[in-house]
Structure 1
Amino acid sequence: MPVGPVDDQGTVLYYEDSGIPSKSANYVTLVLIHGTCFHSAVYRPMVPFAAENNLRLVLLNLRGYPGSTDYSTTDLDKLRGPDRESQEQAMAERGLELAEFLRWYVETEAIPPIALTSEGVRTGGISLLSWSGGNWHTVAMFGNVDKVPESTRKLLSTHLRSFIMFDPSSSVIGQKIPPGLSSLRRYASAPVDEQVALFSVDVSAYYPPYEIPDNIDPPPTFDPPRRPLHEASTEIDPKYAPTSTKMSPETLRELTHPPIMKEYQHLLWGVNPDILQANLHRALYDCRADDGNGTRKPIWPDVRVHIILCDMTLGQCAWAATVIRDGHKKANPEHRRNMQLHTLKKANHFVHWEEPERFVRFLTVII
């Protein structure tokens, strides 16, 4: 079982690797971070389409998920708060783990660095994609890049080409969802299996197409509420049934990790919103950090950020993309990261499972 070490305490992260595309020396490596409850196995339908698009896929499991080191009582206590410093430390630690995995993987697998062809096309390197709630961890990495060891920062500066926030969850923005847009039912007191069943339907449903508003001050209202299509009508096209309901019970069990809903996920959802906003600001809106001599300099300034919004996704993700774009528009152009927003039409939160070939081809273009 392949695992990568992320600290000197024996902590490891499990991963699956599609391997080097045949006879390719200029392939791009795409590291895939999963979302909440659904672990990296949800990306497996993409693997058959990787080589033909000159991609090497790495399916990574975060802490607490199958094959990766579980969270300790100390880890949970830091998140439990209410001490802000402890929650900030917990978030930073998750980000540093990802940075160290990338360093270890680049060195172990001799990943080719970013290079320019004679036509000006960038080849090689690594793109980091995080889906849904997984963005909590990747934003923590970029938001705490000043704490990443200098040797790791230097190595990744030659390899890290883009950061893809795929249908990011509202768990990264530290802001409330407008009434009528919220889609998730969170019942911490319910049995874990019941939580997973409800969550799976809510996140994998199809919702009415969403368009990002030009202005969110004041926030838009959603009246009537934006309801999933399968609840809004009895005459629903089978294509628009929730993805989880199209899976066999065995498949759903293979893709989800119910124990994460016992405590950890609810602690993560309860992190101080000020911490989330500060991390997002440092990650996307001002990529400068202290160089150790009192001067603020940009770190990984060439990393391109891509926001992918599926237009029929759940409200939490639609609103997160809206807030992130708005914050980027208002940020200082000299210090913010280069960012683009892409909308996938007629796609729900599980487009990578429902339409893996389409999704891989789309990613190939933007990375």
Structure 2
Amino acid sequence: MPSLALANGIEFQYTDSGIPTPQDVPYVTVIAVHGMGYNGGIFNRVQQLAKDTKLRIVAINRRQYVGSTPISDAEAALLVSGSDEQKAEVLAARGVELALFTVALIRQESIPPISTDRKGGGVALLGWSSGNVVTLAMVANIEKLPSDSKSCLATYVRALILQEPPSLAMGYPLPTGTWAPHMDPSIPAEQHTPFWAQWITSYFDHGDLSSRDPTALSYTVPSFTRRPTIYGMTADEQEQILDQSVSEMPGMFCSAAQALANTRKACFDRAVRALLPKMKIWHIAGARSASFAIPGRWSLEDDDKANGGALLNFILIPGVNHFMQWDDPQETLKAYLEAL
């Protein structure tokens, strides 16, 4: 797998779908950031299909995941036990690193800029699940970059795609009824991870999501009309993309206030948006995802309305779950293309 080292020595390993089949418009590069417990390999299936579209998908492994520079235990602990300022600094550092990776990749690969008609070119930032913590931190802290990097991103960034960020990853309060295996004291600790791997990859039959009523969500009982994604993965695939050793949940709980500040700054701060004038923001969710994926969408819709509306765009894909890019890559690619 290729890797890219930044000027500060931090290195990111990544996979690259490559330049698409020649088309009548410049290709768009999607930089995809994975969530918790799964590395960038979770995007393999959409990468395999990307060459037949106008997309080039580059999926990084975040720090703490295989091949990329680790974060020190002391720095990781700051998200739990640090001051408010220290927590904000740690999140900002992750965002700045992603920004510098993006600029370095643009220059290394001579990625085409956004075309004058917006039909092609440029870069889309895609966060999946807790990976949105990093992409939102990047946009929120764009002013911290060197001037040449800010200018580069202002020219290239065409979209920020929020693919199923949990409420917690964006800093919003957890709705009443929220449930996950790690939060249930009746489940033995040694069973948390295997239970979580099945639950989070399951399909759920919710009620009327347009009602925005939390009681319409199915929190604990998955549907058995389609097997959980984890059971469709081979042993080799699981070995290559699963990494349950990275503990991110405590840090997300304890730095929720800082994550919320980044979310609101990235999405609704007019000065920040002015630094990325070509960037549109889209939220993508699956209608059969686990319950944590839906309330965050409602919170964003409320904040969008409170800020005048029309700053965000929303896509809800019927029939797919939290692992849509693995189980339903064609439908997921359609959503990515719509968001560009």
TM-score (norm 1): 0.85
Following superposition, the deviation at residue 175 of structure 1 comes to: 2.9
**Correspondence 1:90-101 to 2 at 5 A:** 90-101=90-101
Looking at structure 2, the residues matched to 186 and 5 of structure 1 have their Cα atoms a distance apart, in angstroms, of 37
Q: Which residue number in structure 1 is paired with residue 249 of structure 2?
A: 266
**Correspondence 1:1-367 to 2 at 5 A:** 1-8=1-8, 10-24=9-23, 26-116=26-116, 120-186=117-183, 190-191=189-190, 194-209=191-206, 211-213=208-210, 220-222=213-215, 226-230=219-223, 236-237=224-225, 240-261=226-247, 265-289=248-272, 298-332=274-308, 338-367=311-340
Q: Percent identity?
A: 24
Q: Which amino acid aligns with 2:115?
A: A
Q: Count the aligned residue pairs.
A: 337
Kindly indicate which of the two structures has a greater share of residues assigned to helix.
2
| Gap change, CA 1:184 and 1:308, over 3 Å in 2 | farther
Q: Which amino acid aligns with 1:274?
A: A
8 Å CA contact 1:185–1:202 kept in 2: the answer is no
| Gap change, CA 1:221 and 1:161, over 3 Å in 2 | closer
Following superposition, the deviation at residue 173 of structure 1 comes to: 2.9
Following superposition, the deviation at residue 332 of structure 1 comes to: 4.1
Looking at structure 2, the residues matched to 280 and 267 of structure 1 have their Cα atoms a distance apart, in angstroms, of 19
Q: Which runs of 4+ in 1 moved over 6 A?
A: none
Q: Which string of whole-angstrom CA distances, capped at 9 and with x for unpartnered residues, describes residues 202-251 of structure 1?
A: 21111123654567xxxx44289533324xxxxx32xx221112323332
SS at match of 1:260: coil
RMSD: 2.3
| Gap change, CA 1:66 and 1:332, over 3 Å in 2 | same
Following superposition, the deviation at residue 142 of structure 1 comes to: 1.2
Following superposition, the deviation at residue 77 of structure 1 comes to: 3.2
Q: Which amino acid aligns with 1:257?
A: D
Q: Which amino acid aligns with 1:241?
A: R
SS at match of 1:92: helix
Q: Which residue number in structure 2 is paired with residue 294 of structure 1?
A: none
SS at match of 1:301: coil
| Gap change, CA 1:124 and 1:167, over 3 Å in 2 | same
Is the deviation greater in 316-325 or in 19-28? 19-28
SS at match of 1:320: helix
Looking at structure 2, the residues matched to 40 and 210 of structure 1 have their Cα atoms a distance apart, in angstroms, of 32
Q: Which amino acid aligns with 1:172?
A: A
Bigger CA radius of gyration:
1
SS at match of 2:158: strand
Q: Which residue number in structure 2 is paired with residue 233 of structure 1?
A: none
Looking at structure 1, the residues matched to 172 and 21 of structure 2 have their Cα atoms a distance apart, in angstroms, of 45
Looking at structure 1, the residues matched to 303 and 332 of structure 2 have their Cα atoms a distance apart, in angstroms, of 27
Q: Which string of whole-angstrom CA distances, capped at 9 and with x for unpartnered residues, describes residues 130-183 of structure 1?
A: 101100111111111221222111001111110100111222332332233434
Q: Which amino acid aligns with 2:75?
A: D
8 Å CA contact 2:125–2:159 kept in 1: the answer is yes
Looking at structure 2, the residues matched to 159 and 184 of structure 1 have their Cα atoms a distance apart, in angstroms, of 40
8 Å CA contact 1:13–1:63 kept in 2: the answer is yes
Is the deviation greater in 174-183 or in 68-77? 174-183
8 Å CA contact 1:125–1:161 kept in 2: the answer is yes
